[in-house]
A and B are shown apart, each in its own frame.
Chain A
Amino acid sequence: MSWFKRVKEGISTSTKDKKVTPDGLWYKCGRCKKATLTSDHVANQYVCTHCNYHHKIGSREYFEILFDENSGKELYAHIVSGDPLEFTDTKPYTDRIVESQKKSGLEDAVRVAHGKINGLPLVVACMDFSFIGGSMGSVVGEKIGRAIDYGREHKIPVLVISKSGGARMMEAAFSLMQMAKTSAKIALLGEEGIPYISLMTDPTTGGVTASFAMLGDFNIAEPEALIGFAGPRVIKETIGKDLPKGFQSSEFLLEHGFLDFIVDRTELKTKLTTLIQLLTEKKARQKKEVEA
């Protein structure tokens, strides 16, 4: 027999008396679980101030981080997906597209913009994982292709920020051919001697890894990103063993010679500026000027 007996079941505070914590005031790190003021977290470019965990962000945030104030201008924003195969699995592809567009507020899994970073011109194609897992279909291939063409026409360096689960199955062989298409565009850019920088972020896998992501004159990555061709689950099933710790991480790729360097997001703009400055022999704006 218990000494205390619960008189009433459940939570008895009525909704109107509940104390509300303002939404989004605190950010709790997905890894170390420690809390940071959201404003501090944003100021630190969505990198945990405690454990340096790079929270997944989208094209909007990357453009904000990279471009000088008001210099970024979006390109090719109105290219949207077709449904060449009238593909239906558990639901029609067209429904998936519309749902994803509503949920993410994006047209597809990549956005392109040109602008200045510390005064130096740059065209950036940045993938969005929130749109069908950042998968590459015809729209992604076309927009990345055009971003590269833009760089070639205007003779400015190209940066592609990858974040993708791979090819978009619902476009089957059309999505496969985007690998050849984007790679061919990079070949043409290379003939002109214009720098192409590939930044790989968590995760970069499948057909994206096996095409434009690995073809940078400079292959760089954020820390601890998953980067690979085959997914970890597939490899585990194939070899029938657990994968070693740190397998397919940025650090693993650096060790095996597939990255030039790993860069913290907070250092990204500075490091890119230096690199582009060295390659183009154009002078970037001084730091003081930028802050002013």
Chain B
Amino acid sequence: MSTFDFEKPIAELEEQLEKAQQIAEKGKVDMSASIKELEDNILKTKKEVYKNLTGWQKVQISRHPDRPYTLDYIKGIFDDFVELHGDRNVKDDLAMVGGIGSIEGKTYFIVGQQKGRNTKQRQMRNFGMANPEGYRKALRLFKLAEKFNKPIVTFIDTPGASPGLEAEERGQGEAIARNLLEMSKLKVPVICFIIGEGASGGALGIGVGDRVYMLEYTWYSVISPESCSSILWRSWDYKEKAADALNLTADDMLKNGLVDGIVKEPLGGAHNNPEEIFANVKKEIKKATKELRTLEPHDLMMQRIDKFSNMGVFNEEATA
């Protein structure tokens, strides 16, 4: 498991613990007291470290290679998942997955960006950067959900929409724009979760939801801290500063009224206990669906449109 700089104190203690356990196994000395002490110490340090994370450190955790990805969440939360492929126009985009599944007998349509675990998979999934056909596949599934009156769950985890020749030829801008328009009009509940990276239009392209939740150690903004640093400071070295300036953490986003809630992650991040995060997300899906299903379809749509229409901070001077 890879460790970040800020996790070093924990890693050191864990190393000591391992040594103590080895000595204990060899039998001669009774180590139980010091093992207990070390375990307590690790827990305490972990709590301390994860309580005080900076924006940039959360960005790092959001990209941890062991974090659960969309298909893990689907498998961990939904029963009888059937994956559905293709946009019916060009091809099947493997960076965007989708399908149909159920929670306690209730059917959902599910869509999300998918990253890969190893080099081969990462290439196949294009690092979770969808092409226009990915956004159009998502839209096709949203429309199907509406047709069959089923709620929609999306899992957002992308470093951005794919920038490339083919993406531009096939209208990346149009594909994302169309999703924003169509998602705002959907007559069924839309529940979105940022489970890792929420980068810009590529994330928002499946993110116009009645409820948008961020997992505790994720980020969501208009640009990644690295790119922001390179554009505004003209250097890659200001990513920590950029991460702070962008207010991109779940806490910041909730405070600014741009997301609706935060889902608590297990201590040390989702990858430390996937079952726990799946359970937490599942709980939110059930709760949100129940609440949103009480609304008339038209009211549901208008409430969603109003929510996004009210986002923005400006001053209006009195007209003369």
Contacts and interface: CB of A to CB of B under 8 A. Distances in A.
Given A169-B246, A180-B208, 14 more contacts: A83-B313, A87-B245, A89-B238, A138-B311, A167-B222, A169-B228, A172-B247, A180-B207, A191-B185, A214-B178, A230-B164, A235-B165, A256-B170, A258-B174
A8 interface: no
A229 B172 contact: yes
Contacts of B181: 183-184, 186-187, 190, 215
| Chain B residues touching A, majority SS | helix
A30 interface: no
Contacts of A37: none
Contact of B311 (A82, A178, A211, A248): A178
B9 interface: no
Contact of B313 (A174, A185, A258): A174
Given A181-B312, A183-B184, A229-B168, A173 B233 contact: no
Given A89-B232, A209-B173, A256-B171, A176 B222 contact: yes
| Chain A residues touching B, majority SS | helix
B77 interface: no
Given A79-B316, A178-B312, A214 B174 contact: yes
Interface stretch (A19-27, A44-52, A139-147, A283-291): A139-147
A13 interface: no
Interface string B203-220: 011011000000000001
B308 A184 contact: yes
Interface string B15-46: 00000000000000000000000000000000
24 contacts: A78-B318, A79-B314, A80-B314, A80-B316, A81-B314, A82-B313, A83-B313, A90-B232, A142-B314, A167-B223, A169-B246, A174-B258, A177-B308, A180-B308, A184-B308, A187-B305, A191-B185, A207-B200, A210-B201, A215-B178, A230-B161, A234-B163, A238-B163, A247-B168
B167 A169 contact: no
Contacts of B177: 179, 183, 209-215
B303 to A, nearest CB: 11
A78 B319 contact: yes
Ranked 9 nearest A-B pairs via Cβ: A230-B163, A138-B312, A209-B173, A183-B180, A184-B184, A84-B313, A229-B173, A89-B232, A229-B172
Contacts of B256: 84-85, 173-174
A188 interface: yes
Interface of B: 161, 163-165, 167-174, 176-178, 180-182, 184-185, 200-201, 204-205, 207-208, 220-223, 228, 231-233, 238, 241-242, 245-248, 253, 256, 258, 304-305, 308-309, 311-319
B309 A139 contact: no
Nearest to B311: A177
Contacts of A167: 200, 222-223
Looking at B173, B208, B231, B256, the one whose CB has the most chain A CB atoms below 10 A away is B173
Interface of A: 77-85, 87-90, 137-139, 141-142, 145, 167, 169, 171-181, 183-188, 190-191, 206-207, 209-215, 227-230, 234-235, 238-239, 243-244, 247-248, 256-258
A187 B184 contact: yes
B318 A177 contact: no
Given A173-B248, A229-B176, A258 B171 contact: yes
B123 to A, nearest CB: 14
A79 B241 CA distance: 30
A178 B177 CA distance: 12
Contacts of A215: 177-178, 181
Contact of A181 (B171, B200, B242, B311): B311
A81 to B, nearest CB: 6
A209 B132 CA distance: 13
Contacts of A247: 165, 168
Contacts of A173: 220-222, 246-248, 253, 256, 258
Contacts of A85: 245-247, 256
Contacts of B208: 180, 183-184
B211 to A, nearest CB: 14
A180 B315 contact: no
Given A145-B309, A256-B169, A229 B221 contact: no
A258 B246 CA distance: 33
B184 A180 contact: yes
Nearest to A219: B174
Contacts of A227: 173
B316 A172 contact: no
Contacts of A138: 311-314
Given A80-B315, A174-B312, A212-B177, A239 B222 contact: no
A214 B178 CA distance: 8
Contacts of A243: 165
B135 to A, nearest CB: 10
Nearest to B247: A85
Contact of A82 (B170, B228, B315): B315
